Amino acid sequence: MSKNLSTRLKASFDRLNLALTMRRHFENFWLIILMRLKIVRLPYFLYRIHKDERTYSMLGRPTAASSGDIFVLREVLAEEIYQDALACVDKKDLRIIDIGANIGTFTIWANSVFRVREAFCFEPEQESFCLLNFNLSSNGCPTAKAYLSAVGGTARLVKLSVNNNVPAAANIYDQAPDGGQTVAVISLGEWLSTMEGNFDILKMDCEGAEWEIIRHTDPQQFTRFQTIVVEVHPDPENKQAIADFKEAMEKFGFETVRWDNKSFGLYVGRQKPDG
């Protein structure tokens, strides 16, 4: 079998698998298909998702792009890609930081599996932030607080460039020269210095900002987290390779539980008992 044919067959199999996942867990499946084909056009849609005994009502933006809001909803709520992170925590009453909260999927999912006692959700993109607040309220997360800001290693203001087809990919590096949203980037280290106590989970899906966060944050601050889960992106400053991320986390005292070792793959680590 040729390599090209093998690649095409794998792509077809992946699309079929995705469709079956959607059909199994999403209500109004055929309406969702029509929206993705642009036959039906709606600015927002209330997705209803079922996974075992858990149900969610999530307001999102229907787009034809494969990596729009529905992609995140499927990954987090239906496929539960963050299961390894929750397996690391030793209680069901969580205090979490969600950096790159988007429309709230991670915090809402964590609350449905293990109750969230307190959550700090950071999202810099204005429309996503509005959807985040709506979804937190609609899915029983009254203890979650949303912040309209990005998180990085150093505090500053940036012009945020947003791709409407892939709103979750908004980042603090591809800055819009004119007309973009002006957003505040807060320093994780400085913010943590104003907070008391420890946290169960630090989740980061911040389009590359994880690199400046680990370079500029006092390593002692990471001892305050029992578990860390990160979607690792290429370093925007080209100072480090993807493979360096695991080593950096282990230097901070984390024991690696999962490491995909690829762009957009996951790292999950938990504090060593003597960390």
Give the pLDDT confidence score for residue 2 in this predicted structure: 62
Domain-wise residue ranges, the chain: 1-79, 81-271
Query: Within 13 Å, how many C-alpha atoms sit on residue 203's CB side?
Result: 31
Give the pLDDT confidence score for residue 185 in this predicted structure: 97
Q: Quick one: DSSP state of residue 139?
A: T
pTM as predicted: 0.91
Give the pLDDT confidence score for residue 275 in this predicted structure: 46
CA 113, CA 108: separation in Å to the nearest integer? 9
CA 85, CA 229: separation in Å to the nearest integer? 6
CA 129, CA 137: separation in Å to the nearest integer? 12
Give the pLDDT confidence score for residue 22 in this predicted structure: 84
What are the percentages of helix, strand and coil residues in the chain, rounded to 5?
Answer: 35, 30, 35
Amino acid at residue number 51: K
**In the 3-class helix/strand/coil scheme, how is 166-190 assigned residue by residue?**
CHHHCEEEEECCCCCEEEEEEEHHH
1 CB contacts (<8 Å, ≥6 apart)? 9
Residues of the chain falling short of pLDDT 70 = 1-3, 5-16, 64-67, 176-179, 274-275
* CATH fold for domain 81-271: Rossmann fold (3.40.50)
Paired residues of 99 in beta bridges:
122, 204
